[in-house]
Amino acid sequence: MPEQDFFYTIEKEAVAEFKDRGSKFIAYACPIQSVEEFKAKLNDIRKEHPKATHHCFAYRIGIDGNVFRSSDDGEPSGTAGRPILGQLDSKQLTNTLIIVVRYFGGTLLGAPGLINAYRSAASLAIQMTPIVQKPVETKYIIQFDYTQMNDVMMVVKQIGCSVIEQELNLFCRMSVGISRGRLEEALYRLNEIPNLEWKKAV
């Protein structure tokens, strides 16, 4: 499988609601970067909806999408977490979490009804927020003299690198993300700046 130069995610949180035979399903779509962020978000939503019968979720994190999890939270196996994850995957989303909160309405929906409800709620939440395409970036550390600041910043701006952190003293250190598609060009141009050092971040 070729390496991807881009990935798809969401940048803004969104909420949507789906109702079926008295049961209410409230879906939250949230951008996340880590499992810690997911845990904090789930905690917040549990606090916000303490009387809900279920807090089901699915998330996928990372460029290769290998970090993922889904939970039925007490619903019959495969009726909640998997349909939610299916909605993330149908849009090729990563770094995204969907939590669907259910308030039971008194009528059992059965497995097909539950699958449809969780899938629909998740799908509606995704529709409420724009999907963005982001470049896959490799992180580099650049070290240079303060007098070279303009040259470095020109390369960073023209290539469209993201500045992750910077220490600007007499001797400067900058951590940048360079998109995979423009890596060769960026390193070639940085090499043209005398006495500048760069290395791939570990």
- In terms of pTM, does the model score above 0.75? yes
Note the pLDDT of residue 1: 36
Do 82 and 61 belong to one domain? yes
- pLDDT tens track for 99-110: 999 999 999 999
Where among 133, 159, 175 does a domain terminate?
A: 133
Contact 29, 97 (CB under 8 A): yes
Say if residue 4's pLDDT is above 80. Answer: no
101 lies in a domain? yes
Handedness of CA 39, 41, 44, 48 (dihedral sign): negative
| CA separation for the pair 74, 56 (Å, rounded) | 8
Q: How many domains does the chain have?
A: 2
CATH number at residue 193: 3.30.70.240
| CA separation for the pair 121, 83 (Å, rounded) | 10
Long-range contacts (CB closer than 8 Å, 24 or more residues apart) made by 62-67: 62/94, 62/95, 63/4, 63/7, 63/94, 63/136, 65/94, 67/35
Note the pLDDT of residue 3: 65
Do 158 and 143 belong to one domain? yes
Q: Which residue spans within 50-151 are E strands per DSSP?
A: 54-61, 67-71, 96-103, 131-135, 137-145
Contact 16, 127 (CB under 8 A): yes
* Mean pLDDT taken over the chain: 95
Where among 133, 148, 165 does a domain terminate?
A: 133
The dihedral over CA atoms of 84, 85, 89, 92, expressed in degrees to the nearest 10, equals 90
What range defines the domain where residue 182 resides? Answer: 136-200
1 lies in a domain? no
Helix (H) or strand (E) holding 9: strand 6-10
| CA separation for the pair 31, 59 (Å, rounded) | 10
Do 184 and 129 belong to one domain? no
Residues 162-169 have a mean pLDDT of 93
Phi/psi for 52 (5° steps) reads -70, 150
| CA separation for the pair 149, 153 (Å, rounded) | 6
